[in-house]
Amino acid sequence: MNKPTLYKTVDATRISISELMQPSHSNFNGKIHGGYILNLMDQIAFACASKHSENYCVTAAVDTVNFRKPIEIGELVTMKASINYVGGTSMVVGIRVESQNIRTGEVKHSNSSYFTMVAKDSDGKSIKVPGLILKSDVQVKRFLKAIKRIESKKTRQIEFEGKEFSRENYMNVLSEHNVKLEID
């Protein structure tokens, strides 16, 4: 059995796929269905994470899906994925989706997202993943941004799922929004 790689560069597991958008991928408004794009994003996240970890991976979380611009039927969609962060058994895969009008050549940034993937062994147990070699300031920023998103999520969980939570502490925040409380 080969010894697993201890560290890999971001470029070593970067993946790109392209697909022409068909009428069967559209929603009732004639645009490409967001669920179809999410499915493709999940596939490229799996491929990127599996390539990095050299193991089967599962999706643990999808964070910050930004639908920036609609994708039209007949456009060529290209997805680019790279590992932005690694933990012990998990990886954050950053995905950028671009769509290109084939006739005009115009390229637009359509979607972005971050998928947290976990490496699994043949018994379904989480396993250690290789570390990440960062070779540019962009890669360092992506890694640090992932850490900040993870920390923010933990802070929200503690704040809102803890025993100390009381809505009375948030009444001033609630009053600034379009909400009406009718709690018995």
The amino acid that residue 167 corresponds to is R
Checking phi first, is residue 161 left (phi over 0); if not, alpha (psi -120 to 50) or beta?
alpha
What is the chain's mean pLDDT, rounded? 94
Compute the average pLDDT of residues 113-122.
97
Q: What pLDDT is stored for residue 2 in this prediction?
A: 54
Written as one string, the DSSP assignment of 126-165 is B----EEE--SHHHHHHHHHHHHHHHHHHHHHHHHHSTT-
Mapped onto helix, strand or coil, the DSSP state of residue 76 is strand
Any idea where the domains of the chain sit in the sequence? 7-134
* pLDDT of 83 above 70: yes
DSSP state of 25: G
Measure the CA–CA gap between 48 and 171, rounded to whole angstroms: 44
Provide mean pLDDT across the span 81-90: 97
- Residue 3 — very low, low, confident or very high, per pLDDT cuts 50/70/90? low
Task: Write out the CATH class of domain 7-134.
Answer: alpha beta
Check pLDDT > 90 for residue 41: yes
d(CA 53, CA 41): 18
Distance in angstroms (rounded) separating the CA atoms of residues 119 and 77? 27
Coil/strand/helix, residue 75 = coil
Tell me the pLDDT band of 64, cut-offs 50, 70 and 90.
confident
pTM greater than 0.85: yes
Name the percent of the chain lying above pLDDT 90.
Answer: 87
The yes-or-no verdict on residue 18 having pLDDT over 80 is yes
Overall average pLDDT of the 123-145 stretch: 97
